[in-house]
Amino acid sequence: MKKRVLITGITGQDGAYLSRLLLDKGYEVHGIVRRVALEDPEHRLWRLRPILKKINLHSASLESYASIFDVVEKVKPQECYHLAAQSFVSYSFEDEFSTINTNINGTHYTLSALKNKAPKCKFYFAASSEMFGKVKKTPQTEDTSFYPRSPYGISKVAGYELTRNYREAYNLFACNGILFNHESPMRGYEFVTRKITNGAARIKAGLAKELRLGNLHAKRDWGFSGDYVEAMFLMLQQDKPDDYVIATGETHTIKEFLDLAFDHLGLDWHKYVKSDKSLFRPAEVNILCGDYSKAKKKLKWKPKVNFKNLVKMMVDEDLKLVSPHS
């Protein structure tokens, strides 16, 4: 009998990589999507296009306990990866209420439905390095205290605590993956890495003349999504549930990302990038750098794709997309 897995947020970047990984491992893959996605698969399911026939999609919303309960009752998953969230930090300042309501309630509903209908199911929560916010120390570990700087970060701290509480109070096999920024050619276009690689490729192809960005001084610990979903899987294969930092241990500025991306195309970014004050955030997370020693020791996990190769991979894929016949 195949193992049944339920993935919320299956249409997103990580959902796309994770569902491929679990299909390869022989899982029966079920995913929760919004009803509108089923009505507009061409646009909303683009990341899943090559595997659509191999997965089972169920419509539900993070805002509705009843809809999540129904899917959990129907699928009775043995593993659940809860990835669905309003994940764009910038937007969380524009719409605090929906980000906080959706992200916190969605996590709470999923945990509660599992407790009631699939209490043996192993649960993964997509926690985030944004919880460290105005960092208390560098590098950040599982023991570093949280200081979130955005409604998004606050919602993730609440999700982290709910997950820990369900583990301790109801004996649920529930893990928090504290993942640092991870990117790929399937990254959403609004995040800075994809905005840069797509923008650079469009400039190279003659389709754009400039790229408007916000704060170029922030530092991030950027890894590859394909590596990070392997860590999620490993967390749920352990004897005991626990929380893990997943990162590369290296930090780079946006300027360094720009250097590599534009250099790869033989361009000088200084000629094209314009600073746009409207893209600065009301409160910024200046530096993130993770210490993944615990994951290395216990999960035997380490990142495979380094910063330079990540940037190249993204630029190459974006160049193919904007100039498919060259």
Q: Residues with catalytic annotation?
A: 128, 130, 152
Binding mask 184-223 for ligand NAP (x = CB under 6 A): ----x-----------------------------------
Given ligand NAP, ligand F7E, none, residue 83, with its beta carbon under 5 to 8 Å by kind, binds: ligand NAP
Of 11-19, 49-57, 139-147, 296-304, the window that binds ligand NAP (rule: CB under 6 A) is 11-19
> Per CB under 6 A, does 14 bind ligand NAP?
yes
Of 8-16, 198-206, 282-290, 302-310, the window that binds ligand NAP (rule: CB under 6 A) is 8-16
**Which 3 state secondary structure label does DSSP give 127?**
strand
290 C-beta neighbours (distance < 10 Å), count: 27
302 C-beta neighbours (distance < 10 Å), count: 13
Rounded to 5 degrees, what angle do the CA atoms 132, 136, 140 make? 60
Q: 3 vs 270, which CB is nearer to ligand F7E?
A: 270
DSSP state of 144: S
> Per CB under 6 A, does 84 bind ligand NAP?
yes
Buried b vs exposed e over 89-103: b needs ≥16 C-beta within 10 Å? bbbbbeeeeebbebb
> Per CB under 6 A, does 252 bind ligand NAP?
no
Of 61-69, 73-81, 271-279, 289-297, the window that binds ligand NAP (rule: CB under 6 A) is 61-69
Residue type, 35: R
Residues 6+ apart with CB under 8 A from 17: 184, 186, 225, 226, 228, 229
Choose, by CB under 6 A, the member of 181, 198, 248, 251 that binds ligand NAP: 181
For every residue of 206-225, DSSP letters joined together read TS-S-EEES-S--EE--EEH
> Per CB under 6 A, does 164 bind ligand NAP?
no
Least gap, CB of 64 to ligand NAP (angstroms): 9
Residue type, 80: C
Q: How far apart are CA 125 and CA 104, in angstroms?
A: 11
Indicate the residue whose CB is closest to ligand NAP: 12
Where on the chain is the footprint of ligand NAP (CB under 6 A)?
9, 11-15, 34, 37, 44, 61-63, 83-87, 102, 126, 128, 179, 181-182, 188
